[in-house]
Every structure is written in structure tokens, then in C-alpha cells.
């Protein structure tokens, strides 16, 4: 197994588990001066199995410290896995709500702590009540919040294993819960069979519901109102096209900002994963807001700028068409702005070999209003995904294209004008695939800055 330093694909400023497998972020919160992120974890192998809750914390969203594992399956409600859930401070006590999984059924469980480090399961508080049309295995991922003097819990489910829905529970004290009704049921058959990891929060004067769509259809958001304990959607959109990121979960920071994380899965075959010994990463924390048209806006949390090192030297080629700028790196934060004067494509290429045999191209085509991560040549390996990742982006008249690209070894997050994010994975094989460039096919002006990025795991021992 390679050390982190030797591993060309292991991210440095995106959170990965100390070893083995990570999937959903869970129980995100802020408590006594620290941010806490729990996560679906299998420390024993880089594959999904007998899922536990890993835990890390940070004072500044920049440096993360590994904490003891919070939850491990035990005989009873969670015998086969401690599935996803959320964190709340209930009557002064840190509390985790999570799904207890056994091969037969799913129920909602509770664990409490006095120090955030050791957690005591509370089997007497397990919630089993569910509507008759929700199957035993379609009932998971409790998200708990307070509103209007009540505690509410939203649970991911399916109406008759046909349509995704989010169920609403209510409690006066965060301890005794009663089922109310569906908070919201999928308006469209194209939005999957089960909704996983529902997350429901206020953003400005609106409410946002995000859901992860099973099977494997990515993540979706709805913006609307919460009235009479029901959600009324007014607009909606795609969160991370092509399921590049999944299981989004947000929290409110002490200063009122809404921060969101999601799971970035591997897109390579298991033998490659086994050889490296780890699987999956989390997105950077994203700050969310709504624009005037109620579109969800997202950008990397400002705190990440603390990880920027010196600016990377950027060389101008002197050309006015084709490749304009050139730089290198595989652990970068890149900001590029294009002012487009015609309908020709503009592009940023990263992780390119000098002979072009490997290259990943981030391309905007104004005519098609399409941003694409072109992965056809992103790797010489046939054991990794080469599918393009595509998102719709319509620029307003005269609006420049602004790309913020977080490249972290095999992780690529592309934010465009704060309203589209393409998250994906790329696995170049050649040590010299570190070349990056900015190019334009027609008449466009461009500016670019890039910084090398530091590690978020300074304290972690690497083997
Ligand atoms: C989403 C999910 C959740 C579940 C967890 C299990 O990725 O399937 O619905 O709780 O992962 O690890």
C-alpha cells in the first residue's frame, strides 16, 4: 500500500478516512468551539461493510483532527450497521440520531454523549413507527432540527417502493417522537425510488430540501416554503450532476452561514482501490446561499483560503487564440474568469502529460450552455471511469464565466459562477501528468490565478 506521499490519487485537502472506506458525511455540527464531522466508515477495508461512524473535528474548518470512532454496530437495533444521521444538542446533551440497520429492517436510533468522544446508545428511544406504505428497508437517515418551538425529524423513505419521499416526525423534547405525515413526496417518477439523506433547512427566508436519489440518480434540491408542517416546493435543481457527490448534509455555522458537505465516491475498479487501501472522500465545506431567482448558490467556504500556499507561476504563451496560459500542479486551487465575446469554447486543461496522452479538460460551450469535464483521456487506465460530467450553465447577458477549480489529486470540484458544481474523479497514471493550461477557441479574454494547497490532516500519521 502506498504512503500518502507516494499516492498520486489520495487527496490532501479533501477529507479522507484514516484508512479504509468512507461514505456519507453524518452528524455535522458545531459544539463548544469546534466543528464536528462524523461519517460512514469501515476502517477495516476500502469497501462498504458493517458501517460505523467515524469522527473528526476542527476549530477552523481548515485543520482536522481524527477523533475516536463514535458508533460501532452491536447486537440489537444496529447489529449490521450504524447508518447515516444527524447531530443535535438536546436539553444540553450532544445527541446523535442515526439509522440502525439489520438485514431485516431499518429503525431510527439515538446515542448520547457528555464529551462528544464516547457515545452511549439509548435503545429505549428507538423509533420504529412508520407509515404502512413504507417498506422495512426504505426508512433511513434521520435529520433533526428545531423550529417554531418543536423538534422535527425528517426521514428518507419511499412511498410504496415507487417514489422518493421525506417523512416528518415531531417531538416536544427531542426524546418522544410522533409521526406526522410526509413532509414532501417526489413530484416526478424520474427522481428515483427512495430518497436517502433528506436534509431540510432554512436559507434566507426560504426552506431548502436536498435529497439523494436511490438508485444512483444523484442529488436534487428543492426551494420553497414550510407551512402547516408541509413543504411546498417552488423551484428545484440538480446538486452535483451525475452523482459525482452524494448524501449532502448542511449545518448552520455560529456566524449564520450554511455549510454543506457531501461524499465523493471512487470511480475506479475495486482492484485499484484495494491496492491503495482507501476509498472515498468528502467535498470541501461549501457555503450555500440563494440568488434573486431562488437558485442555490454554492462556493468553497472562505476558510479554505488559509490552505493556499504561494501563487503558482503562470506563464503566458503570447498567443491570442488556443493556449494562452500554462502552469503545473496536481494539488491546486484555481480561479479563472473568461469574458466571452463570441460563441466559441473556452477551456481549462489539468493533469495533462506533455505529449497529451493524458489530459482532463474542463470546457464551456456557450452555444450549448454546457459545462463539461471531459474525461475521455483523463487516464491511460481502462479501470477508471472515462465518462464526461456535464452541467447546464446559462450565462446572463454580459456575465463573465467564473470557474473555481479545486484539484486535489484524483478529486476535482468545479464551481461555475457559484451556481453549478461538477464534482468528479480523475486518475492519471503518469508522474508527468501535471500540466495545466487555459485556452480559448475564439475571441475571449481570460485571467487566472492558482495556488498550491496544503494538507488538512497535519496531525495524521501516514504509513
Ligand atoms: C447513502 C446511504 C444512506 C445510508 C448509508 C449507508 O449513501 O445509502 O441511505 O444510511 O448510505 O452507509
261, 283, 303 - which closes a domain: 303
Reading the block at residue 430, the C-alpha cell is: 503518469
Q: Is 40 in the pocket of ligand 1 (CB under 6 A)?
A: yes
pLDDT of residue 242: 72
Question: Does the Cβ of 346 fall within 6 Å of ligand 1?
Answer: no
Q: What are the Cα distances from residue 220, in Å, to 213, 247, 298, 422?
A: 7, 10, 14, 13
User: Is residue 262 located within the same domain as residue 373?
Assistant: no
Q: Does residue 460 sit within a domain?
A: no
Q: How far from 59 is each of 55, 253, 254, 446, CA to CA, in Å?
A: 14, 12, 12, 37
Whole-angstrom distance, CA of residue 22 vs CA of residue 41:
5
What CA–CA distances, in Å, run from 131 to 51, 168, 228? 26, 11, 19
Residue 54 CA to ligand 1 centre (angstroms): 14
Distance, CA 284 to ligand 1 centroid (Å)? 20
Nearest to 206 by CA among 157, 278, 159, 258: 258
* Ligand 1 mean position, distance from CA 97 (Å): 14
Q: How far is the CA of 210 from the centre of ligand 1 (A)?
A: 15
The three-state secondary structure class of 366 is: coil
Classify residue 244 by burial, with Cβ atoms within 10 Å: 0-12, 13-18, 19+: buried
Answer whether residue 136 is part of any domain. yes
Is residue 11 a part of any domain in this protein?
Answer: no
The pLDDT tens digits along the chain (463 residues) read 888 888 999 999 999 999 999 999 999 999 999 999 999 999 999 999 999 999 999 999 999 999 999 999 999 999 999 999 999 999 999 999 999 999 999 999 999 999 999 999 999 999 999 999 999 999 999 999 999 999 999 999 999 999 999 999 999 999 999 999 999 999 998 899 999 999 999 999 999 999 999 987 799 999 999 999 999 999 999 998 777 999 999 999 999 999 999 999 999 999 999 999 999 999 999 999 999 988 999 999 999 999 999 999 999 999 999 999 999 999 999 999 999 999 999 999 999 999 999 999 999 999 999 999 999 999 999 999 999 999 999 999 999 999 999 999 999 999 999 999 999 999 999 999 999 999 999 999 999 999 999 999 987 865 4
* Residue with CA at minimum distance from ligand 1 atom 8: 196
Q: What angle do CA 444, 240, 222 make, to 5 degrees?
A: 115
Mutate which of 20, 21, 23 for ligand 1 pocket (most atoms within 8 A of beta carbon): 23
What is the C-alpha separation between 136 and 193, in angstroms, rounded?
14
Any domain includes 242: yes
Residues of 435-461 as b/e, b for ≥16 C-beta within 10 angstroms?
bbbbbbeeebebebebbbbbbbbeeee
Would you say the CB of residue 23 lies under 6 angstroms from ligand 1?
yes
Query: CATH number of the domain that 142 lies in?
Result: 2.115.10.20
Interacting residues of 104 by C-beta distance below 8 A, sequence separation 6+: 136
- Mutation test of ligand 1: which of 140, 193, 215, 216 has the most ligand atoms closer than 8 Å to its C-beta? 140
Determine, yes or no, domain membership for 323. Answer: yes
Q: Report d(CA 428, CA 463) in Å as an integer.
A: 23
Q: What is the pLDDT of residue 5?
A: 84
Ligand 1 in reach of 127 Cβ (< 6 A): no
pLDDT at 270: 98
Q: Helix or strand or coil: residue 25?
A: strand
Ligand 1 atom at minimum distance from 194 CA: 9
Cα–Cα dist 15/31, whole Å: 20
Judgement on whether residues 249 and 373 belong to the same structural domain of the protein: no
Does 265 share its domain with 367? Answer: no
Cis peptide before 215, with omega less than 30 degrees from 0? yes
Q: Which residues contact 228 (CB under 8 A, 6 or more apart)?
A: none
126 and 228 co-located in one domain? yes
User: What is the chain's length?
Assistant: 463
Same domain, residue pair 322 and 297: no
Confidence (pLDDT) at 462: 55
374 and 289 in a common domain: no
- Quote the ligand 1 centre to 417 CA distance (angstroms): 30
Q: What is the pLDDT of residue 352?
A: 98
- Determine the distance from the C-alpha atom of residue 280 to the mean position of all C-alpha atoms in its chain, rounded to a whole number: 11
CA–chain centroid gap for 172, Å, is: 31
Q: What angle do CA 168, 171, 173 make, to 5 degrees?
A: 150
Out of 196, 212, 218, 282, mutate this one to test ligand 1's pocket (max ligand atoms within 8 Å of CB): namely 196
H or E element in which residue 271 lies: helix 270-276
Instruction: Identify whether residues 275 and 346 lie together within a single domain.
Output: no
Atom of ligand 1 nearest to the CA of 24: 7
Same domain, 378 and 299: no
Q: Please check whether residues 257 and 381 belong to one and the same domain.
A: no
Residues 334 and 288 grouped into a single domain:
no
Q: Which one of 41, 77, 197, 280 would you pick to mutate in the ligand 1 pocket, going by the greatest count of ligand atoms within 8 A of its CB?
A: 197
Chain centroid offset of residue 399 CA: 27
Q: Is 51 in the pocket of ligand 1 (CB under 6 A)?
A: yes
Catalytic residues: 24
Q: Are residues 295 and 340 in the same domain?
A: no
Q: What is the predicted pLDDT for the residue at 463? A: 47
For residue 207, is it within any domain? Answer: yes
CB neighbour class for 196 (10 Å; exposed up to 12, middle 13-18, buried from 19): buried
Q: Whose CA is nearest to atom 12 of ligand 1?
A: 83
Residue 356 forms part of a structural domain: yes
Q: How far apart are the CA of 212 and the centre of ligand 1, in A?
A: 9
Cβ(211) – ligand 1 distance below 6 Å: no
The structure's pTM equals 0.97
331 inside domain: yes
Q: Are the C-beta atoms of residues 100 and 111 closer than 8 Å to each other?
A: no
CATH number at residue 390: 2.60.120.560
Q: Choose the final residue of a domain: 276, 303, 330.
A: 303
Structural domain including 57 reads 20-303
The count of structural domains within the chain is 2
Residue 426 CA to residue 353 CA, distance in Å, equals 14
Measuring CA to CA, which residue among 154, 234, 153, 147 is closest to residue 195? 154
Amino acid at each position: 500500500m502506498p504512503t500518502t506521499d507516494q499516492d498520486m490519487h489520495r487527496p490532501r485537502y479533501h477529507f479522507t478516512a484514516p484508512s479504509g472506506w468512507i461514505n456519507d458525511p453524518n452528524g455535522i455540527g458545531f459544539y463548544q468551539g469546534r466543528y464536528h464531522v462524523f461519517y460512514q466508515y469501515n476502517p477495516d477495508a476500502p469497501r462498504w461493510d458493517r458501517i460505523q461512524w467515524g469522527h473528526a473535528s476542527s476549530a477552523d474548518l481548515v485543520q482536522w483532527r481524527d477523533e475516536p470512532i463514535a458508533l460501532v454496530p452491536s447486537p440489537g437495533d444496529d447489529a449490521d450497521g450504524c447508518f447515516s444521521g444527524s447531530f443535535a444538542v438536546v436539553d444540553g446533551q450532544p445527541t446523535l440520531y442515526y439509522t440502525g440497520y439489520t438485514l431485516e429492517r431499518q429503525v431510527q436510533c439515538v446515542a448520547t454523549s457528555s464529551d462528544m468522544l464516547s457515545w452511549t446508545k439509548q435503545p429505549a428511544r428507538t423509533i420504529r413507527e412508520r407509515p404502512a406504505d413504507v417498506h422495512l428497508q426504505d426508512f433511513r437517515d434521520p435529520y433533526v432540527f428545531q423550529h417554531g418551538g418543536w423538534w422535527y425529524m425528517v426521514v428518507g423513505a419511499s412511498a410504496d417502493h415507487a417514489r422518493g419521499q421525506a417523512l416528518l416526525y415531531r417531538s416536544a423534547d427531542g426524546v418522544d417522537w410522533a409521526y406526522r405525515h410526509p413532509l414532501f413526496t417526489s413530484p416526478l417518477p424520474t427522481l428515483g425510488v427512495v430518497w436517502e439523506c433528506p436534509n431540510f433547512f432554512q436559507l434566507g427566508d426560504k426552506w431548502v430540501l436536498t435529497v439523494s436519489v436511490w438508485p444512483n440518480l444523484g442529488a436534487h434540491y428543492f426551494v420553497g416554503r414550510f407551512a402547516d408542517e408541509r413543504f411546498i416546493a417552488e423551484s428545484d435543481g440538480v446538486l452535483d450532476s451525475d452523482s459525482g457527490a452524494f448524501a449532502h448534509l448542511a449545518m448552520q455555522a455560529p456566524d449564520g452561514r450554511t455549510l454543506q458537505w457531501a461524499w465523493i465516491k471512487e470511480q475506479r475498479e475495486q482492484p485499484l482501490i484495494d491496492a491503495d487501501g482507501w476509498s472515498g472522500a468528502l467535498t470541501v465545506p461549501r457555503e450555500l446561499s440563494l440568488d434573486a431567482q431562488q437558485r442555490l448558490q454554492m462556493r468553497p467556504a472562505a476558510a479554505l483560503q488559509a490552505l493556499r500556499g504561494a501563487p503558482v507561476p503562470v506563464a503566458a504563451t503570447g498567443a491570442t487564440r488556443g493556449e494562452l496560459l500554462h502552469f503545473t500542479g496536481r494539488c491546486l486551487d484555481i480561479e479563472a474568469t473568461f469574458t466571452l465575446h463570441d460563441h466559441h469554447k473556452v477551456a481549462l486543461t489539468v493533469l495533462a502529460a506533455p505529449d497529451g496522452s493524458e489530459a482532463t479538460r474542463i470546457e464551456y460551450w456557450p452555444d450549448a450552455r454546457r459545462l463539461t469535464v471531459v474525461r475521455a483521456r483523463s487516464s491511460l487506465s481502462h479501470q477508471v471511469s472515462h465518462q464526461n460530467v456535464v452541467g447546464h450553465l446559462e450565462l446572463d447577458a454580459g456575465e463573465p464565466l467564473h470557474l473555481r477549480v479545486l484539484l486535489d489529486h484524483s478529486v476535482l470540484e468545479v464551481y461555475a459562477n457559484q451556481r453549478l458544481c461538477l464534482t468528479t474523479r480523475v486518475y492519471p497514471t503518469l508522474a508527468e501528468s501535471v500540466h495545466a493550461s487555459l485556452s480559448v477557441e475564439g475571441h475571449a479574454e481570460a485571467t487566472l490565478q492558482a495556488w498550491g494547497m496544503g494538507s488538512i490532516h497535519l496531525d495524521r500519521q501516514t504509513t
